[in-house]
Structure 1
Amino acid sequence: MAAAVRTWWARRSLRLKLTAAAALVMAAGLAGAAVLLVVWLHTSLIHDLDQTALQRAQVVAADEDNNRISVEVPATSHADAAVQVVDRKGHVLAGSANLLGLPRVFTFPADRSGIPRAHTVQGSPEHEDATWRAVGVPAGTADNPVTVYVALPTESIDHGLSELTAGLATGVPAVVALLTGIVWLLTGRALRPVDAMRAQTAEITGTDLSRRLDVPPANDALGRLATTFNDLLGRLDAAARRQRRFVADAAHELRSPLSTLHTRLEVAHHHPESTRWKTLVPDLLRETERLNHLVDDLVQLARLDARPRLRTRPVDLDEIVFAEVREARSRTRLVIDQHAVGAARLTGDEDALARVVRNLLDNALRHAATRIDISLRALHDTACLVVADDGPGIPEADRERVFGRFTRLDDARTRDTGGSGLGLAIVRDIVTAHHVSTHIEDSRPGTRMVVLLPTGEP
């Protein structure tokens, strides 16, 4: 049953939930205030009644001390007041008109403290169901002590409080209902911008992320929510544009080797007698190798874009550098100097860091004239990896742009040497995932690729 209620409540609208919560709070607050009012008023009126009874008892006691009291105690402004003067043996010496001739009514002893305490007395010889507040005051002399009892009925107080309680029992629900209706209207008006934003959001499609939500003029939670949504849409729009541009560039890059392969194979198929297979096969192998590198780079970028969790563990970066240098030397006649490589142990993804070193070496191999110098040193909590070549260098204005995808400063030359324009982009994405940095410096001549890696946790 409780689960069903929770499920039903969870499916209700925000407007209903807010209104119901406000109604409960108002009902609890008003009911509590009404109860406190009745209790406070009852306490205050009873206290006033006790003070009146005490004052009357003190007056009668003073008259008794001065021997001016008669058998019938004179009436006061409280016509219903009941007064009895009782001696130590319990005999009634005097009383008010409404108790005249009756035996002792009040039996509690007189309170001889400074401020006598009032007692609640149920019933009387005249009114069995009546409730009284009575006080007992000692009087008389030491030889002839008496007790003066004065009691006042609480009927008028009880009747007034009953009427007040009935009025509050009727008025509080009415006020709560009225305020609940007002809260319902105000909540609907307050949530109107949310409905407008929802409608605008529903109209935004994946093919048109340039639209934005209307931001309310007030700088409140809804305004900040709309601004945050617009920022999110802006990021999604930029990501979608980059994705579309990436797909278009990838398609363009794939089209070139595929077209070359298709053309040469088609020519060989239609003119087998004139085809020089010994020269054709190496060309086809180069194109397939170029295509294989391109697909591998695209897969690597796709994985980086998906932001997978790095498989971090302690890694000896110097061993990775030595392994990649050995592999690079097997496919070039250029000099690769690794004498400046020192020990550097850090925490990272071994495969990803190996890809960084490999791509930096591949980039240097494509641009170096005679030699490549690679160094690695640990400084405090940072490992500095440098790959320098003696090639033409990179202009300062283009040093950040070369880390973009499919960026070539010399398009024709890099296409011929197999560059896809993705190597440095992969380097930048990997070092960013490791929370490190990379930049380019002058080598005079050539270029220095610098990567700074922390030796602690990434």
Structure 2
Amino acid sequence: MTGATVLLVVWLHASLISGLDQTALQRAQVVASDTGSDHIPPNVPSIGHGEGAVQVVDGKGVVLASSSNLRGHPRAFGFPASRSDTPRAHTVNDIPIGQGGTWRAVGIPAGTPRTPVTVYVAVPTESVDHGLAQLTAALATGVPAVVALLTGVVWLLTGRALRPVDALRAQTAEITASDLNRRVNVPPADDALGRLATTFNDLLARLDTAARRQRRFVADAAHELRNPLSTLHTRLEVAAHHPGAVDGHSLATGLLQESERLTRLVDDLLQLARLDARPRLRTRPVDLDEVVYTEVREARRRTPLIIDQHSVGAARVQGDADALARVVRNLLDNALRHAETRIDVTLHTQHGTAQLVVADDGPGIPEADRERVFGRFTRLDDARARDTGGTGLGLAIVRDIVTAHHGTAHIEDNRPGARLVVLLPVEHQPAEDQPTGPGTMSRPDTTRMYYRSPSPTRPDTALHSRSDK
């Protein structure tokens, strides 16, 4: 408002002064038209009932005519006449009329070629200065009053509007990490504050869920770690107190098994901690079929079960090769713990999606538990899972890694057994949306071919070759 006030005063002053300049110029033009003859009357009518001053001066500076208020005075204007179409007005202060003051004066050439003269006309700025002084005084008094009034009104309205915000802040400040189940009061009005309170409550709900999950995870991890540590402690204690009653070979074998189980559990916990921290995946093109062949080869060394990989076709995806290898390894480990005689591994691409299936002929998973088994530390048969070395974290790691690769994981019925299905987006879709299987090429990359052994007795290692080998 102060800036607007200053601009108003400056603009109004310029506008009024311009009006005075136009008045002086018009009067000068009227007087100049009367001096077009060789005879110039000595008296010139004043402007507006005595306001203003007029002088007609010849080339030698002699006053030839003047208005009544300048009669008998010498030349009062010292600036030369303006020759332009729009004469420039001058501000003068030494005109001997009344108490002096400020005047706006113009001078224009007039007369005849034989007797050229200059017509000067001045008008006082007293009325303009007085009016602007009154306006400035009024604005100097009124603007602060208006600003103070508006400040008070805004202060009251803002305080009233922010009072619920302060209440919301106070309620939020009372919520600690130990009582995340509390919620803030949502105002009844459906406005921005109500939406803010709802968002706060949603945030608290997510934090509460995450904290509960974290506490449950820590408790489960402590419980799982305590089991192998207790076993190790018991066996070592027995060996220490009864050295003659313990066979050294069986003791070492048992301790080795428990340490391996403890190592697997720590590795799984570390993997889940990394996934929860949402690290950046080292994304690059990965030949998923090569990962499957490698993991199947390693799994065959640890089991007498049949692992059939004849239905593994070519599939290239964008992802982290180590993380995807962990997915395949965990799926095979899960199948090895439950399969009776065989495990079937299939991989093909269709409609821009790579589908990896690991199926076993074990007891299967009830439909009601097929989503629950992807939870952490979930076992449908705790005794059997612990005896076979399961930690209850393998499928949870599978779900987290697959989700990080923008894929999905679910379980289907195999009759008998279970089919664990992983769907991942391929790097780019094949030329035709057809499933790729043995003996087919999944993409139009002619520099790479996959050869599948037609023999039913497939060798332990997959036959891979590049066209440049």
Work out whether the TM-score is over 0.5.
Answer: yes
352 and 57 in structure 1: CA distance in 2 versus 1, 3 angstrom threshold: closer
Q: How does 1:293-312 map to 2 (within 5 A)?
A: 293-312=264-283
Distance in 2, matches of 1:269 and 1:139, equals 133
The corresponding residue for 1:42 is 13
Gaps of 5+ in 1: 1-29
Aligned pair count reads 428
2:431 corresponding residue in structure 1:
none
Cα deviation, 1:105-160, whole Å, max 9, x if unaligned, reads 33555557766554433422447963322234566667666554321122332344
Match of 2:419 in 1: 448
1:101 aligns with 2:79: no
* SS state at 1:210 partner: coil
TM-score by length of 1: 0.77
Which whole-Å deviations, capped at 9, do the CAs of 1:198-252 have from their partners, x for residues lacking one? Answer: 3222211111101122334555554444333322211110011112222333344
SS in 2 for 1:195: helix
**Which has the larger helix fraction?**
1
CA drift of 1:163 comes to 4.7
Cα distance, 1:369–1:145 mapped onto 2, change above 3 Å: same
The residue number in structure 2 matching 1:385 is 356
Secondary structure at 1:293 match in 2: helix
Shift of 1:363: 0.9
Which residue of structure 2 lines up, in the alignment, with residue 335 of structure 1?
306
Corresponding residue of 2:401: 430
* Counterpart position of 1:227: 198
Counterpart check, 1:375 vs 2:340 = no
Which has the larger displacement, 367-376 or 303-312? 303-312
State the one-letter code of the partner of 2:7. L
Instruction: Report if the CA contact (8 A) 2:46-2:54 is conserved.
Output: no
Deviation per CA, 1:145-203, whole angstroms, max 9, x where unpaired? 65543211223323443454455456545555555555555555554444333322221
From 376, 394, 404, the counterpart of 2:375:
404
Which deviates further from its counterpart, 30-39 or 163-172?
163-172
* One-letter code aligned to 1:332: T
Structure 1 CA distance for aligned equivalents of residues 293 and 371 of structure 2: 28
Would you say the 8 A contact 1:83–1:150 is kept in 2?
Answer: yes
- Structure 1 residues 124 and 369 mapped into 2: Cα distance closer, same or farther (>3 Å)? same
- Residues 364 and 100 from structure 1, CA distance in 2 versus in 1: closer, same or farther, beyond 3 angstroms? same
Could you list the per-position Cα deviations for residues 59-80 of structure 1 after superposition, in whole angstroms to 9, with x for gaps in the alignment?
Answer: 5456656999853334453424
For 1:350, which of 321, 346, 371 is the aligned residue? 321
Per-residue deviation, 1:343? 4.6
Q: Closer, same or farther in 2 for the Cα pair 1:419/1:116, shift >3 Å?
A: closer
State whether residues 391 and 447 of structure 1, in contact with CA within 8 Å, keep that contact through their aligned partners in structure 2: yes
Residue 245 (structure 1) aligned with residue 216 (structure 2) = yes
Closer, same or farther: CA 282–81 of 1 in aligned 2, 3 Å? closer
Separation in 1, partners of 2:49, 2:94? 18
User: 1: CA distance between counterparts of 2:60 and 2:383?
Assistant: 131
Task: Provide the rounded CA distance (Å) in 1 between the counterparts of 2:34 and 2:72.
Answer: 20
* Residue range with higher mean Cα deviation, 140-149 or 351-360: 140-149
Deviates more, 1:66-75 or 1:240-249: 66-75
2:293 to 322, 325, 341: 322
Could you tell me how far apart the structure 2 residues matched to 1:138 and 1:165 are? 38
Q: Normalising by the residue count of structure 2, what TM-score does the alignment of the two structures yield?
A: 0.75
The answer for the alignment partner of 2:95 in structure 1 is 124
- 2:444 — aligned with what? none
Instruction: In structure 2, give the amino acid aligned to 1:134.
Output: A
User: In structure 2, what is the Cα distance between the partners aligned to 1:76 and 1:301?
Assistant: 98
Residues 210 and 234 in structure 1, CA contact (< 8 A), matched pair in contact too: yes
Amino acid at match of 1:400: E
Q: SS of the counterpart of 1:201?
A: helix
| Structure 2, unpaired ranges of 5+ | 429-469
Percentage identity across paired residues of the two chains: 75
Would the alpha carbon gap of residues 332 and 100 (structure 1) be closer, same or farther in structure 2, given more than 3 Å must change?
same
- Cα shift readout 1:66-112 (whole Å, capped 9, x = no counterpart): 99985333445342421223456654332222211223333555557
SS state at 2:44 partner: coil
Match of 1:236, SS state, is: helix
SS of corresponding position for 2:401? helix
